[in-house]
Amino acid sequence: MVALKKGVICYLRLDEDEAELAYDLAELGELLTNIDVETSETFVQQRAPDLNYLLGEGKILEVKERVDDGGIDAVVFNRELSPRQVKALEDLFDGVEVWDRTQVILEIFSRRALSREGKIQVRLARLSYLYPRLFGLGGVLSRLGGGIGTRGPGETKLEVLRRNTREQIHDLKKELAAVRANRAFLRRQREEEGIPTVSLVGYTNAGKSTLLNALAAGDQKVLAQDRLFATLDPVSRRVRLPSARYALLTDTVGFIKELPPKLKEAFGATLEELHAAHLLLHVIDLAGPYLEKQVGAVETLLAELGLEGKPLLKVYNKLDLYRGFLPEDGVAVSALTGANLDYLLACVEEALFPEYEAVLLVPFDRLGVVNRFRERLRVLGEEYLPEGVRLTVRGRPADLQNLKAKLGANK
Ligand SMILES: Nc1nc2c(ncn2[C@@H]2O[C@H](COP(=O)(O)OP(=O)(O)OP(=O)(O)O)[C@@H](O)[C@H]2O)c(=O)[nH]1
Ligand SMILES: [Mg+2]
């Protein structure tokens, strides 16, 4: 068990939206839990952002009083703080850590990054966040790990630090460019193989990795966990579609409302992969209390990435936890229990290949079943055999899937 730190949240409210407030507080609390900080109190104020303290002076002194009473390790703000605010707040809270939402997310990402690429991306995001803040300087430095090198003639320590950071950013960008080139190469190779690609997108913790594991043809499992941003590195697995054709399914980093811009930039190469997908599966937590907010946030991010035009299928996940009306604009499944996954695969196939052919051996006493599908399926060939009729039919994968299921049942 890691020792929990205690933090207070300072929340600047810009409007009267109660639902927004409740959502943000729940989410920030959840983000903090993911870096082992427990929220002990919340201070909320509605006003225009203060240039020094984000919250107004009166409110911030209230927070200061609480912090001075002791037992608080961190003061956490719901918005990204400017360099000037970081400096002023660190001076005010003298010794107690000051965090903003961006730093909290950066911290989670850096704990999760495993691959070389993931680490480069997170490091780049951290240094880019840090760089403009090097001009005020405060305790923020010790947490963000800016490297200090040898001093050149006539340079102050601070100047060295800035130059070093600038150089590191430059180098990391170069490394990322190499990663990007390699990705493009692998993508072209895949395209030559002709396997269609499907990418999972969705809010963090919606169940993307669990779904990938449930659908993947082999048994190489990826990490799926009840924690935010469990996945940072894209992983692909082959998925067998109902017609026995294959698609390549890719899992990637989860989305969050107002993803810090520096992270969005750093993860550009990862997110760029989405452009190459033939189909996006938007995985949605059907059972969570914040479905609409999360769907909205994902759609905003997809639009920002220029992906509005992509074919997209909504997948409402965690059906096993849900008792209510089912949304009609997508497929409801449970990645955990496997419910409705066959139907999902049929829909994926339908989106990728609008129609396909199947050969079915229908026993004579089941021909009536086929008749019920006459309107939706085209019969291309009939061959009479002792055990039944061999039919070649053409139609949408979902209908064929359905027919096969009906033929299989009540034999
Ligand atoms: N009850 C239930 N739980 C599920 C289902 N699908 C996923 N979960 C759980 O939800 C949690 C998050 O699942 P992940 O697959 O890691 O979610 P993710 O979308 O990959 O999350 P990030 O990688 O953080 O973006 C895990 O604890 C899963 O066991 C489901 O259909 N039903
Ligand atoms: Mg995941």
Cα 225 to ligand 2 centre (Å): 7
What is the Å distance from ligand 1's center to 130 Cα? 32
Q: Among 133, 231, 115, which residue's Cα sits nearest to residue 175?
A: 115
Query: Residue 212 C-alpha to ligand 1 middle, in angstroms?
Result: 10
The pLDDT of residue 147: 46
Cα 119 to Cα 2: distance, rounded to the nearest angstrom: 23
CATH number of 195-352: 3.40.50.300
**CA 203, CA 317: separation in Å to the nearest integer?**
12
pLDDT digits (tens, 9 = 90+) for 304-328: 999 988 999 999 999 999 999 999 9
Mean pLDDT of 351-372: 86
244, pLDDT greater than 90: no
C-alpha closest to that of 282 among 372, 223, 344, 230: 344
* Residue pair 6/40 in contact by the 8 Å Cβ criterion: yes
221 alpha carbon – ligand 2 mean position (Å)? 11
Q: Nearest residue CA, atom 30 of ligand 1?
A: 318
Give CA angle at 357 (196, 360), nearest 5°: 130
SS3 157: helix
Looking at the CA of residue 321, tell me the nearest atom of ligand 1. Answer: 1
Contact 104, 81 (CB under 8 A): no
Sequence-ordered list of residues with C-beta below 8 angstroms from that of 313, at least 6 positions apart, any chain? 279, 280, 281, 282, 330, 331, 347, 348, 351
- Counting from 1 in the atom list of ligand 1, the atom nearest the Cα of 212 is 15
Taking residues 121-140, what's their average pLDDT? 79
**DSSP string of 214-240, one letter each residue:** HHBSS--PPP--SSTT---S-EEEEEE
Count of residues in the chain: 411
pLDDT in tens, 150-179: 555 556 777 888 899 999 999 999 998 888
Task: Delimit the domains of the chain by residue range.
Answer: 5-109, 113-176, 195-352, 356-408
**Which protein residue has the closest C-alpha to ligand 1 atom 14?**
207
Q: Span 223-238, mean pLDDT?
A: 82
What's the CA-to-centroid distance between 244 and ligand 1, angstroms? 27
From the CA of 112, how far away is ligand 1's center (Å)?
16
User: Which among 311, 397, 278, 402 is positioned nearest to 349, based on CA atoms?
Assistant: 397
Query: Which of the listed residues 336, 337, 340, 344 should we mutate to test ligand 1's pocket, taking the one with most ligand atoms within 8 A of CB?
Result: 336
**CA nearest ligand 1 atom 21, residue:** 205
Measured distance CA(107)–CA(123) in Å, rounded: 10
Q: How confident is the model at residue 137 (pLDDT cuts 50, 70, 90)?
A: low
Q: Which residues surround ligand 2, an ion (CB under 5 A)?
A: 208-209, 230-231
pLDDT surpasses 90 at 76? yes
116 has a pLDDT exceeding 90: no
**Nearest residue (CA) to ligand 1, atom 8:** 207
- Residue 190, judged by CB atoms within 10 A of its CB (0-12, 13-18, 19+), counts as middle
Would you state the pLDDT for residue 166?
Answer: 94
Task: Identify the nearest ligand to the CA of 317 by its number.
Answer: 1
Radius of gyration of the chain (CA): 27
Whose C-alpha lies nearest to ligand 1, atom 16? 224
Q: Which two tokens mark 26? A: 């729940």
Report field, pTM of the whole predicted structure over 0.85: no
The residue whose CA is least distant from atom 9 of ligand 1 is 207
Cα pseudo-dihedral 182, 188, 122, 262, rounded to 10: 120
Binding pocket residue ranges, ligand 1, CB within 6 Å:
202, 204-210, 224-226, 228-231, 254, 317-318, 320-321, 334-336
Among protein residues, the one whose CA lies closest to atom 32 of ligand 1: 318
| Cα(259) to centroid(ligand 2), Å | 16
- Closest-approaching ligand to the CA atom of 211: 1
Q: What homologous superfamily is domain 5-109 in, according to CATH?
A: GTPase HflX, N-terminal domain (3.40.50.11060)
> Which of 355 and 39 is assigned the larger pLDDT?
39
Q: Is the pLDDT of residue 148 over 50?
A: no
Q: What's the pLDDT band for 252 if we cut at 50, 70, 90?
A: confident
Residues 248-270: what's their mean pLDDT?
A: 85
**Which residue matches tokens 């703080």?**
81
Q: 337 C-alpha vs ligand 1 centroid, how far in Å?
A: 12
Can you give the pLDDT at residue 8?
Answer: 97
For residue 172, the SS3 value is helix
Of 59-63, 181-185, 247-251, 364-368, the least confident: 181-185
In this structure, the number of other CB atoms found within 10 A of the CB of residue 120 comes to: 20
In this chain, the answer to whether the domains covering 5-109 and 195-352 adopt an identical fold is yes
Which tokens go with 391? 């039919």
CA 182 to ligand 1 centroid distance, Å: 30
**What ligand is nearest to the CA atom of residue 214?**
1
Class of the CATH domain delimited by 356-408: alpha beta
- Ranges of beta strands (E only) in 47-177 are 74-77, 97-100
Residue 223 Cα to ligand 1 middle (Å): 10
Considering every ligand atom, which ligand is closest to the CA of 201? 1
- How far apart are the C-alpha atoms of 18 and 97, rounded to whole Å? 28
Shortest-distance Cα residue to atom 6 of ligand 1: 207
Q: Which residue of 205, 249, 316 sits with most ligand 1 atoms within 8 Å of its CB, as the best mutation to test the pocket? A: 205
Ligand 1 centroid from CA 298, angstroms: 16
